[in-house]
A and B are shown apart, each in its own frame.
Chain A
């Protein structure tokens, strides 16, 4: 079973409890080239297996290979680029097989010791020995025990020969032959690990990051676009697997999340807001704007800016003239920089947090709207269809605010200049229209339906203009 979607025309718009997904159609806007549109398919592990099997068959035919195992290893090594494999193989088969660690160019080990196993140190009949393409012979029992340990540690396509320094890989058929008779569970785990490895190297497949979800997303090209798993309904960025983050790109959002989690900001705060008393070295926090400090420990009066005795500051009570003349005094510049950096971060962080909070509050509001509609319909004040526009408005509000929230990390990392100015102008405009929409929706009883509709169009227009100008395709 497979399930194709384009994120801009989802069919389950009004599905309850799944708030952000609802891309309310504003007919006039959605038809224009939607910069967020992205075609993807949501497929099952079985679909993926079929896809890999077809690719392997294809290559086996094209190169007239004897073993499917070789084709599979070549494809895995060259990121499932069939054309590249064919070209390389036709030009230089030995080198291609060596690159994929299937066959080694140089060694051909002697088989003199084929009755002594280097691993269990036992003398055995030669019929009990197995080897990979490299010819390093070990007994079947040792191979099986070795494979069990390797699979137990989560390895599959990377399992290599047991011989020291030999990096020839074990084909799937070789592994299965030894472990399948021993344990069906082990076999199943091995096959699952293999499939996961192949998906990781495949340039058109992505795991769904949803909890316990086995689904795989299939796209033409992996981009930082929004996809929604049709099995578990998780929405995510197809490129990085995190929450969708337009207009910020994957790297920016990763930096931002790391920054927010990082304690170094707290450290910055401490260095910007605390100093040691110059007399008794107790750590003092500055909490007011006044530079005249008195140490709570030793009652020494000093100047925050220059750490000098306050008595020498004479009548200029609120300004440190010494600091004015020499801003580098007492390493103040380091502290000032830290303070500036922190102020900047807090500015963006507060807005980021604030919009996240608003999103949660508006979700509560949406539930209220839902209840109100139910009551009205029960009281025969119109039908469900009559009131649907309120839910559409709530969905659009969420969508716009979600984008607005992600404009703050984007702006934080933007270099100062005309581009940043333009961005912040558009951001401010979007913010204003969103607050407008939120205000009107909260007072929907008294707002004209047409007025609300207009505000929806305006807000979405602002959002799409911002994305069009700043979201890299």
Chain B
């Protein structure tokens, strides 16, 4: 069975390389055809624009009869992607997978997901709640994450910067990642974010 999987991945890999699409890319991880890295660029007119996001793709032995296992390794702020683990909630990676679908389709679907979130079927409840109730704050946060973690261009939000510095002063043991995660989780309310850190200590 793994024969079909190998066969498929080699063909699919060539397909993506040949297609020469600028916005998606696929790389084999050394000497292991069943483990790949994918790249997608953040779509235009979204907070992710200009960012470059990595996904880790693991091919099950039963591929293509079961979907590939895909998760983001670049941190990102999106209702359908866990801000902590990068796990993705997307139907074609679960029960809507069909054997005739390809990794190219998966990467294009992920890109589409960045353009059109589905907050009613969330992977990250905190993000989804912010998306629904404080949409402009959500957009600023997602932009800040894309700039910080995915290399999206433009000046960083100075208010957020200030809050991160203050957070790190009060909680010196925390790192910058933790500060951003905590503050984002609490809608950039610094008192609540700090209180929560001490609660879980």
Interface residues of A (CB under 8 A from B): 118-122, 138, 141-142, 145-146, 148-150, 162-165
- A-B contacts, 13 of them at CB < 8 A, read A119-B8, A120-B4, A120-B8, A121-B7, A145-B62, A149-B62, A149-B66, A150-B65, A162-B99, A162-B100, A163-B100, A164-B100, A164-B101
The 6 A-B pairs with the shortest beta carbon distances in the complex, nearest first, are: A164-B98, A149-B65, A118-B100, A121-B11, A162-B99, A119-B99
Report the bound CA distance from A121 to B101 in whole Å: 11
Instruction: A138 to B100: give the CA distance in the assembly, Å.
Output: 10
**When chains A and B are docked, how far (Å) is the Cα of A164 from the Cα of B66?**
13
Q: Point out the residue from A118, A145, A162 that lies within 8 Å of B4, measured CB to CB.
A: A145
- Not counting A142-B4, A162-B65, A162-B99, a sample of 12 additional A-B residue pairs whose C-beta atoms are within 8 angstroms of each other reads A119-B64, A119-B99, A120-B4, A121-B8, A122-B7, A145-B4, A146-B65, A149-B65, A150-B65, A163-B98, A164-B100, A165-B98
What number of A-B contacts does a CB cutoff of 8 Å give?
A: 41
Min CB distance, A160 to chain B, in Å? 10
In the complex, are the beta carbons of A145 and B100 less than 8 A apart?
A: no
A145-B65 contact given A163-B98, A163-B100, CB 8 Å threshold: yes
Contacts of B116 in A (CB 8 A): none
**Interchain CA distance A162-B65 in the complex, whole Å:** 8
Compute how far the CA of A163 lies from the CA of B11 in the bound complex, rounded to whole angstroms. Answer: 19
Q: How far is the CB of B132 from chain A (nearest CB, A)?
A: 27
Judging by beta carbons under 8 Å apart, are B4 and A119 in contact? Answer: yes
In the complex, the answer to whether B7 meets A120 with C-beta atoms within 8 Å is yes
Check: B1 CB closer than 8 A to any chain A CB.
yes
Secondary structure at the B interface, as helix, strand, loop or mixed, is: loop
A162 to B11, CA, bound (A): 19
Taking CB atoms, residues of chain B closer than 8 Å to A119 are 4, 8, 64, 99-100
CB of B153, distance to nearest CB on chain A (Å): 37
In the complex, what residues of B have CB within 8 A of residue A165's CB? Answer: 98
| Contact residues of B between 1 and 20, Cβ < 8 Å to A | 1, 4, 7-8, 11-12
Interface contact A148-B98, CB-CB below 8 Å: no
- List the B residue with the shortest CB-CB distance to A119: B99
Shortest distance in angstroms between B17's beta carbon and chain A's nearest beta carbon?
A: 15
> In the bound complex, what is the Cα–Cα distance between A383 and B99 (angstroms)?
75
Q: How distant is the Cα of A165 from the Cα of B97 in the complex, in angstroms? A: 9
Q: Whose C-beta in chain B lies nearest to the C-beta of A165? A: B98
Would you give the shortest CB distance from A272 to chain B, in whole angstroms? 26
A165 to B66 alpha-carbon distance, docked (Å): 15
Nearest CB of chain B from residue A168's CB, rounded to whole Å: 13
How near does chain B come to A179, taking the closest CB pair, in angstroms? 13
- Please give, as numbers and ranges, the residues of chain A lying within 8 Å of B62 by CB-CB distance: 145, 149
Which residues from chain B contact A146 at a C-beta distance below 8 Å? Answer: 65, 99
When chains A and B are docked, how far (Å) is the Cα of A142 from the Cα of B98?
Answer: 13
**Assembly CA distance A163 to B97 (angstroms):** 10
Find chain B residues with CB under 8 A from A150 CB: 65
A145 to B4, CA, bound (A): 9
Which residues of chain B are within 8 angstroms of A142 by Cβ–Cβ distance? 4, 99
Q: What residues on A are CB-neighbors of B8 within 8 Å? A: 119-121
CA distance A149 to B11 in the complex (A): 22
Residues of B near A120 (CB, < 8 A) are 4, 7-8
Q: Which residues of A contact B4 (CB under 8 A)?
A: 119-120, 141-142, 145
Q: Give complex CA distance A145, B66 in Å.
A: 11
Instruction: Tell me, in angstroms, the Cα distance from A118 to B64 when the chains sit together.
Output: 10
Q: B90-111 vs A: 1/0 string, CB under 8 Å?
A: 0000000011110000000000
Q: Decide: A148 near B1, CB < 8 A? Known: A120-B7, A120-B8, A122-B7.
A: yes
Residue of A nearest to B100 (CB): A118
Q: Which residues of B contact A145 (CB under 8 A)?
A: 1, 4, 62, 65
A149 to B100, CA, bound (A): 15
Task: Please report the C-alpha to C-alpha distance between residue A145 and residue B99 in the assembled complex, in whole angstroms.
Answer: 11
Chain B residues near A122 (CB-CB < 8 A): 7
Q: Chain B residue with minimal CB distance to A147? A: B65
Q: Which of B1, B12, B98 contacts A162 (CB 8 A)?
A: B98
Interface residues of B in 39-61 (CB under 8 A from A): none
